Amino acid sequence: MSMGNEKDLRSMTPKENLPEELLPAIQCVQCGKCSSGCPVAFETSHTPRKLLRFLQWGWLEDASRSPFVPLCAQCQTCTVRCPRGIDVSGVVLALQRTGRARGWIRPDSFHKTLEEMIERTGRVSELRLGLLVAMRRLPVHPLEDLILFFKMLLRGKLG
Amino acid sequence: MRYLYYPGCSLKGTARDYEESLLAVIPALGIELQELGKWRCCGASAARAKDSKWARALASATLAIAQDYEMDILMPCSSCYANHVRVLLETQKGEVPVELTGLRRIPRVKHLLEVLAQDLGPDEIRGQVVRPLTGLRVLPYYGCLVGRPFRLGGTESVENPQALERIVQATGAEALAFPWKLDCCGGPILFSHERVAIRLAGQVLKEAVRLSPHCLVVVCPLCHLMLDGKQRAVEKEMGQRFGLPVLYITQLLGLALGLDPRRLGMHRLITPSETLLARLGRP
């Protein structure tokens, strides 16, 4: 699916395209308050405001595949600041759920591991979680993380 | 005052010092705690991203177990707290999950900070302080979920809460105004976007040291992991040395109550706190 101007906006029928939980996004007035306060917006070209715009146009798949969706830290700043009362962080999570249900996006290895752990045991073992994630992907600061691992172990913080 | 204590996964793991200091301090303040034995994980950041029903089921499971105890639930972790409050609010709006239908009484959920600042109150705490932390410059850091999107205790501001400042002042310490106190620590995306997460924590630490505090005080295990545990990685990434001790609010309170630093888990902090303890005459 491309994201160019070739889309015929007049043919878009957002309300029919969107799942019910995403309908509040249509109320957005594009003021940008969500994006100016967003701590991770500097990392991608897509801001929360842009995602809401996509939804207003009915571009559900584009919104869901946006690089912003997995980046969002769920800090809730946009949600408490939206003058239209849209739960913007909730919209981002709903996009994640929709995208996963429709096979557009997949959870990263960390979330996959976390989900499996909660499903299986009902609780999270941070030691196992950390090790499993580290095994699947080399950490950015291997030396610092190794030192941290031993420090935590010595201090009894790893179970 | 009695509460049902829900520890959550972190307090049994990386935030063991949070649990130790909490279990030492809260009874010392005259609050009775009973640990909920069969608690379940709140779903962390994973459940809501996958399936709303699953997220509701996880939080509801704990609430359903807790109904027998006739007590409010105390949660020290901001993420557990927010996940459970969300389900409670949805229930009030009429979206009652199957797990909660037909419950006699749905328990209330309170964050530790709410219990300290509102139920107990700073005056009560001040009255019990035996070693006032006079002259200590403390930076209160809330992070996200304790005060956002749900107003702490239903009354605190979402943009400038004061609950933590009131507790810090009750210990005799100085609570510095910290404009970055509600900024994200990056914790939730540490394992998926590590560099971004480290940069967010770095921003907080960088702005913090400019105010030359003696320590930062937090109320969330994930904030603590990012600001204390990952501080070395952050220093490397930012090319700046911080060396800033990060304490849980319960550790700060414990010091003011004259409790032994070991009982408060101070020896488990990753960023050394020796200078801080020496300053307080508590080596």
Average pLDDT over residues B221-245: 96
CATH class of the domain at B2-112: mainly alpha
* A90 and A48 co-located in one domain: yes
* A56 and A128 co-located in one domain: no
The model's pLDDT over B88-116, given as tens digits with 9 standing for 90+, comes to 998 888 777 777 777 777 889 999 999 99
pLDDT for A2 beyond 80: no
CB contact under 8 A, A124 and B44: yes
For chain B, the average pLDDT equals: 94
Domain ranges in chain B are 2-112, 131-279
pLDDT for A76 beyond 90: yes
Which pair of tokens denotes residue B45? 């950041």
* A94 and A18 co-located in one domain: yes
Q: Which domain holds residue A150?
A: 109-154
* A93 and A22 co-located in one domain: yes
* A140 and A82 co-located in one domain: no
pLDDT for B223 beyond 60: yes
Q: Does B10 touch chain A (CB under 8 A)?
A: yes
DSSP A141: S
* A52 and A125 co-located in one domain: no
Which A residues 120-139 touch B at CB under 8 Å?
A: 122-127, 133, 139
* A92 and A26 co-located in one domain: yes
Number of structural domains found in chain A: 2
What is the nearest CA distance from B122 to chain A, expressed in angstroms?
27
- Cα distance from N-terminal residue to C-terminal residue, chain A: 47
* A120 and A65 co-located in one domain: no
- Percent of residues, chain B, with pLDDT higher than 70: 100
Residues facing B140 on adjacent strands: B217
- The predicted structure's pLDDT at residue A146: 87
Of the candidates A96, A12, A92, which has an alpha carbon nearest to the alpha carbon of residue A59? A12
Higher pLDDT among residues A143 and A82, named by residue: A82
Of the candidates B58, B2, B66, which has an alpha carbon nearest to the alpha carbon of residue B37? B66
Instruction: Give the confidence band of A135 by pLDDT, cuts at 50, 70, 90.
Output: confident
Task: Show residues of chain A in contact with B203, CB under 8 Å.
Answer: 39
Instruction: Give the confidence band of A42 by pLDDT, cuts at 50, 70, 90.
Output: confident
What is the nearest CA distance from B28 to chain A, expressed in angstroms?
24
- The predicted structure's pLDDT at residue B263: 96
The model's pLDDT over A44-55, given as tens digits with 9 standing for 90+, comes to 989 999 999 999
pLDDT for A10 beyond 70: no
Q: Give the domain CATH number at A68.
A: 1.10.1060.10
Strand, coil or helix: what is A45? coil
Q: Does B9 touch chain A (CB under 8 A)?
A: yes
pLDDT for A3 beyond 70: no
- CA A50/CA A64 separation, integer angstroms: 12
Block residue for tokens 């995306």: B189
- Cα distance from N-terminal residue to C-terminal residue, chain B: 33
Task: Show residues of chain A in contact with B261, CB under 8 Å.
Answer: none
Instruction: Give the confidence band of B233 by pLDDT, cuts at 50, 70, 90.
Output: very high
- The predicted structure's pLDDT at residue B184: 97
Whether A65 is covered by a domain: the verdict is: yes
Q: Does B229 touch chain A (CB under 8 A)?
A: yes
Instruction: Give the confidence band of B216 by pLDDT, cuts at 50, 70, 90.
Output: very high
- The predicted structure's pLDDT at residue A13: 65
The model's pLDDT over B71-85, given as tens digits with 9 standing for 90+, comes to 999 999 999 999 999
Q: Does B14 touch chain A (CB under 8 A)?
A: yes
Q: Does B89 touch chain A (CB under 8 A)?
A: no
Task: Show residues of chain A in contact with B158, CB under 8 Å.
Answer: 80
* A88 and A119 co-located in one domain: no
ipTM for the complex shown: 0.92
Instruction: Give the confidence band of A89 by pLDDT, cuts at 50, 70, 90.
Output: very high
- The predicted structure's pLDDT at residue A9: 52
- The predicted structure's pLDDT at residue A11: 53
Whether A3 is covered by a domain: the verdict is: no
Strand, coil or helix: what is A132? helix
The model's pLDDT over A92-132, given as tens digits with 9 standing for 90+, comes to 999 999 999 999 999 888 888 889 989 888 888 888 888 88
Instruction: Give the confidence band of A7 by pLDDT, cuts at 50, 70, 90.
Output: low
Whether A63 is covered by a domain: the verdict is: yes
Strand, coil or helix: what is A53? helix
Q: Does A159 touch chain B (CB under 8 A)?
A: yes
- The predicted structure's pLDDT at residue A110: 86
Of the candidates B224, B226, B219, which has an alpha carbon nearest to the alpha carbon of residue B196? B226
DSSP B138: E
Which B residues 251-280 touch A at CB under 8 Å?
A: 267-270
What is the nearest CA distance from A11 to chain B, expressed in angstroms?
31
- The predicted structure's pLDDT at residue A12: 59
- The predicted structure's pLDDT at residue B125: 97
- The predicted structure's pLDDT at residue A49: 97
- The predicted structure's pLDDT at residue B270: 95
CB contact under 8 A, A79 and B232: no
Reduced DSSP (H G I as helix, E B as strand, rest coil) percent helix, strand, coil of chain B, to 5 = 50, 10, 40
- CA A30/CA A25 separation, integer angstroms: 10
DSSP B118: I
Of the candidates B262, B256, B226, which has an alpha carbon nearest to the alpha carbon of residue B136? B256
**What predicted TM-score, i.e. pTM, was given to this entire model?**
0.93
The model's pLDDT over B121-177, given as tens digits with 9 standing for 90+, comes to 999 999 999 999 999 999 999 999 999 999 999 999 999 999 999 999 999 999 999
* A42 and A84 co-located in one domain: yes
Task: Show residues of chain B in contact with A156, CB under 8 Å.
Answer: 16, 268
Q: Does A76 touch chain B (CB under 8 A)?
A: yes
- The predicted structure's pLDDT at residue A16: 74
Q: Does A157 touch chain B (CB under 8 A)?
A: yes
* Closest Cβ opposite residue A126 in set B14, B50, B232: B14
pLDDT for B17 beyond 90: yes
* Closest Cβ opposite residue A96 in set B44, B49, B232: B49
Task: Show residues of chain A in contact with B12, CB under 8 Å.
Answer: 123, 159
- CA B213/CA A37 separation, integer angstroms: 26
- CA B144/CA B130 separation, integer angstroms: 32
* A95 and A115 co-located in one domain: no
- The predicted structure's pLDDT at residue B276: 94
- CATH fold, domain B131-279, is Rossmann fold (3.40.50)
* A43 and A84 co-located in one domain: yes
The radius of gyration of chain A's CA atoms, rounded to the nearest angstrom, is 19
Residue B149: asked if its preceding bond is cis (omega within 30°), the reply is yes
Task: Show residues of chain A in contact with B251, CB under 8 Å.
Answer: none
Average pLDDT over residues B251-274: 96
The model's pLDDT over B27-57, given as tens digits with 9 standing for 90+, comes to 999 999 999 988 999 998 889 999 999 999 9
The model's pLDDT over A13-24, given as tens digits with 9 standing for 90+, comes to 677 788 999 999
